[in-house]
Amino acid sequence: MRSAKDFFAPLAVGAPTPVREIPARPSRAIHFFDPSNEKMAAKIPAMVGTVDVLLGNLEDAVKADNKVAAREGLVRIAQATDFGPTQLWTRINSLDSPWVLDDLTTLVPAIGEKLDVIMVPKVQGAEDIHYIDRLLAQLEAKAGITKPILIHAILETARGVANVEEICGASPRMQGLSLGPADLAADRKMKTTRVGGGHPGYLVRQDPPRAADGTNDINAARTTYQQDLWHYTIAKMVDACAMHGIYPYYGPFGDIADVVACEDQFRNAFLLGCVGTWSLHPKQIEIANRVFSPSVEDIKHARRVVAAMGDGTGAVMLDGKMEDDASLKQCLVLVALAEQLAAIDPNLKATYDAIELEEGA
Ligand SMILES: CC(C)(COP(=O)(O)OP(=O)(O)OC[C@H]1O[C@@H](n2cnc3c(N)ncnc32)[C@H](O)[C@@H]1OP(=O)(O)O)[C@@H](O)C(=O)NCCC(=O)NCCSC(=O)C[C@H](O)C(=O)O
Ligand SMILES: [Mg+2]
């Protein structure tokens, strides 16, 4: 066991000092691209500034024959691109794969100063994070990297879900977690073949009406309500992240054509506490940016509550509803998020500023 006093000491001589707090950087969409796909890769420089995070994916969805080309492609893109306000992340191959060691030993020296976060797939427990933590420290020290690269774990095994709290607390580098619904479904032996989203078979049904003879008419038409297969895991992930001061994200929504259901899934995650999601196709970026930004109505209401609550204590009535210290805190979550997003998104800033003008008018 490490002493608490050692937790913020570098794990290699010459490695940068670990951060004490994970900065709250906007990351509404983590946009995946395959650096070995020339058409996709060519689009990346023009996407800078349109999305909060660009992620060069080296793991699943990259063909085995293209693993080296993807790694080298990411190095080329990162070296040639000024990312401005957009973060650069990568998803490395899984820790039991033949590629992961070369991923890390190539990327850190070549583009370590530009890489904000490394996403680690199929994390099972704290031991996986400890391995990456030490190796990153050694590579950072060797390469003279000045800012620690953060770690993001994907929750996509049953063991990972069971160990979610120890994963979040395993290293000061831990930036956040994403749900990996496809691998998780397979690992749990769930019977959905979809990449995220709901399932029409996972439902509850309205009670049966009474028949004339007083029995339940189970054959009558009854409304069914589709349920969210991922509610339990997302809620568990959000609690573990909040407890450790790191950030939870939804993951992939594979039905690219169904932008309506995609928006619903993203919004459920936003309401439950997630700060962002993955986008797999350019059309999902706009959805994520919109859904993971507080709406004008949310901000209008939040600012009214803040104003009405004065010194922040006691209870007041607003539009027939009670507001108090606790609901004020809920409103402050939205106001703080709006301020962070407005700082990097001029369109949102204009939208939120217009609310103030309207109120002042
Ligand atoms: C899903 C796709 C395979 C679809 O690609 P495609 O058929 O080419 O789509 P379109 O014809 O609609 O594309 C239009 C143009 O846009 C470009 N494009 C497509 N996707 C991207 C992208 N992600 N970034 C940048 N540009 C993109 C196309 O090249 C077209 O260009 P042009 O012809 O010049 O107009 C594809 O979108 C894709 O591969 N997406 C990424 C998939 C991915 O990363 N999957 C892994 C993450 S999900 C996962 O791993 C599961 C998870 O771990 C779990 O366990 O749950
Ligand atoms: Mg996966």
The structural domains of the chain, ordered by start, are: 4-291 (3.20.20.60), 298-360 (no CATH)
Ligand 1 closest atom vs CA 156: 55
Give CA–CA dist 266/256, Å, rounded: 13
Q: Which helix (H) or strand (E) holds 326?
A: helix 325-344
Task: Give whole-number Cα distances, 111 to 35, 79, 102, 107, 118, in Å.
Answer: 14, 7, 14, 6, 12
The span from the CA of 153 to the CA of 122, in Å, is: 8
Phi, psi of 90 (to 5 degrees): -135, 155
- pLDDT value of position 228: 94
Q: To test ligand 1's pocket by mutation, which of 280, 283, 287 has the most ligand atoms within 8 angstroms of CB?
A: 280
Instruction: Give the C-alpha separation, 255 to 238, whole Å.
Output: 24
Cβ atoms of 43 and 279 within 8 Å: the answer is: no
> ipTM, 2 decimals?
0.99
Q: How many CB atoms lie within 10 A of CB 238?
A: 19
Could you tell me the strand order of the sheet in which 29-33 lies? Answer: 247-249, 174-179, 150-155, 117-120, 87-91, 53-57, 29-33, 277-279
The pair of structure tokens assigned to 112 is 């370590």
Is the distance from CB of 166 to CB of 130 less than 8 angstroms? no
Pocket of ligand 1 (CB under 6 A): 32-34, 39-40, 43, 57, 60-61, 156, 180-183, 195, 251-252, 256, 280-282
Residue 144 tokens read as 């003279």
Query: Per-block average pLDDT, block size 10, for the chain (361 residues)?
Result: 90 97 96 98 97 98 98 98 97 98 98 98 98 98 98 98 98 98 98 96 97 95 96 98 98 98 98 98 98 97 96 96 98 97 94 74 39
| Structure tokens given for 138 | 């050694």
Residue 361: predicted pLDDT = 39
Atom in ligand 1 nearest the alpha carbon of residue 183: 55
The annotation status of 173 as a binding-site residue, yes or no, is no
- At 1 the pLDDT is 81
DSSP letter for each residue of 254-285: --TT-HHHHHHHHHHHHHHT--BEEESSTHHH
Whole-model pTM over 0.95: yes
- Res 358: pLDDT: 56
Residue 79: count other Cβ atoms within 10 Å of its Cβ: 10
Q: How far is the CA of 307 from the centre of ligand 1 (A)?
A: 45
255 three-state secondary structure: coil
